[in-house]
């Protein structure tokens, strides 16, 4: 294995890890703060890809404006879904079962809406201007757009850490994750907090979809594949753990990148193999915040 091959696969793995993290971080944020399992989170990723395609088409390859508008629009859709539908089942008996059924129904609804609006043909997005080539370091070439995605992911990690640990909004969100009733007694508008968290989480998923669109085709049903990988990431890191999602995304991204290079026929197996190994030795996840009592 020469250095050029190693670094190429490493950057490819980090790119995939960043996209997975943006989706999984939103998924784990929703679960961590609201204890809501959003099975439809991958559909917001797909919706972001289509919004990105639409905005780029309208504004003539203005990628950055399209990316911002995509995140805002998908976040607003997520807020409507939480406020109008999910909020009605909070606190009910068998709430988890209702969550799975309701969010799964949104997978079908969003998929059909996408087909109705944009059709079933595959779409593609060009890479933004200035990031269509590659940077060279000696004999090694690094795709510029991949490096951009990695940089955006690092920015999101730092920004999320700062918001969650250094701001009042972040402290309220973490407190709501521990005890929503006490937070409500202290005068915090818990329903509004939940809606905002859901909007931020779905905006991250939509952003990931728009960022991934120039690397992959935009097609209906794209959310199913990404939600499976994202769930693996969340399970690896520990349900509701933001930093665990980051580490799990890097682990799965690199494992997939090198598995595709060496054993392409078995590449998809390795993500599940890593998850099984972790679940055997640490079933609560690598960075779980709560311990699970062993029977």
Asked whether residue 291 carries a pLDDT value surpassing 60, the answer given is: no
Range of the domain at 76: 3-220
CA separation for the pair 38, 80 (Å, rounded): 14
What are the pLDDT digits (tens) for 71-100?
999 999 999 999 999 888 877 767 778 888
CA separation for the pair 30, 24 (Å, rounded): 10
What are the pLDDT digits (tens) for 39-76?
889 999 999 999 999 998 887 778 888 999 999 999 99
Asked whether residue 277 carries a pLDDT value surpassing 50, the answer given is: yes
Residue 231 within any structural domain of the chain: no
Residue 281 within any structural domain of the chain: no
CA separation for the pair 222, 171 (Å, rounded): 34
CA separation for the pair 281, 284 (Å, rounded): 9
How many C-beta atoms surround the C-beta of residue 289 within 10 A?
Answer: 16
pLDDT at residue 289, rounded to an integer? 56
**Predicted confidence band of residue 15 (pLDDT cuts 50, 70, 90):** very high
DSSP sequence for 100-123 = HHHHHHHHHHHHHHHHHHH-SS-B
Q: Report the number of distinct structural domains present in the chain.
A: 1
pLDDT > 90 in the chain, percent? 31
Contact criterion met (CB below 8 Å) for 62 and 233: no
Residue 81 within any structural domain of the chain: yes
pLDDT at residue 285, rounded to an integer? 83
pLDDT at residue 87, rounded to an integer? 86
Residue 274 within any structural domain of the chain: no
pTM, two decimal places: 0.89
Contact criterion met (CB below 8 Å) for 212 and 19: yes
Torsion of CA 43, 46, 48, 52, to 10 degrees: -160
pLDDT at residue 295, rounded to an integer? 38
Residue 239 within any structural domain of the chain: no
CA separation for the pair 258, 162 (Å, rounded): 32
Residue 95 within any structural domain of the chain: yes
Asked whether residue 133 carries a pLDDT value surpassing 70, the answer given is: yes
pLDDT at residue 43, rounded to an integer? 93
Helices H / strands E in the chain, number of each: 11, 2
Residue 209 within any structural domain of the chain: yes
Residue 11 within any structural domain of the chain: yes
Map residue 173 onto helix, strand or coil: helix
């Amino acid at each position: 294995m020469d250095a050029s091959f190693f670094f190429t696969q490493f950057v490819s793995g980090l790119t995939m890890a960043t996209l997975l993290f943006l989706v999984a971080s939103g998924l784990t944020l929703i679960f961590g703060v609201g204890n809501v399992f959003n099975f439809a989170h991958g559909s917001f990723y797909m919706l972001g890809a289509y919004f990105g395609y639409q905005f780029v088409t309208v504004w003539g390859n203005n990628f950055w404006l399209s990316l911002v508008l995509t995140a805002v629009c998908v976040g607003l859709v997520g807020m409507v879904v939480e406020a109008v539908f999910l909020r009605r089942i909070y606190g009910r008996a068998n709430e988890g079962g209702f969550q799975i059924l309701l969010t799964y129904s949104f997978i079908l609804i969003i998929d059909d809406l996408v087909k109705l609006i944009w059709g079933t043909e595959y779409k593609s997005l060009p890479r933004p201007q200035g990031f269509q080539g590659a940077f060279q370091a000696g004999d090694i070439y690094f795709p510029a757009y991949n490096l951009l995605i990695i940089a955006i992911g690092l920015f999101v990690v730092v920004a999320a850490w700062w918001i969650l640990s250094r701001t009042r909004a972040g402290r309220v969100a973490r407190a709501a994750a521990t005890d929503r009733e006490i937070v409500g007694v202290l005068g915090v508008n818990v329903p509004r907090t939940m809606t905002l968290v859901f909007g931020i989480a779905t905006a991250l998923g939509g952003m990931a979809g728009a960022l991934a669109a120039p690397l992959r085709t935009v097609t209906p049903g794209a959310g199913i594949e990404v939600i499976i990988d994202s769930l693996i990431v969340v399970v690896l890191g520990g349900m509701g753990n933001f930093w665990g999602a980051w580490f799990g995304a890097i682990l799965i991204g690199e494992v997939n990148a090198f598995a595709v290079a060496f054993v392409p026929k078995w590449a998809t197996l390795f993500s599940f193999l890593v998850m099984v190994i972790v679940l055997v030795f640490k079933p609560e996840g690598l960075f779980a915040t709560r311990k699970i009592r062993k029977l």
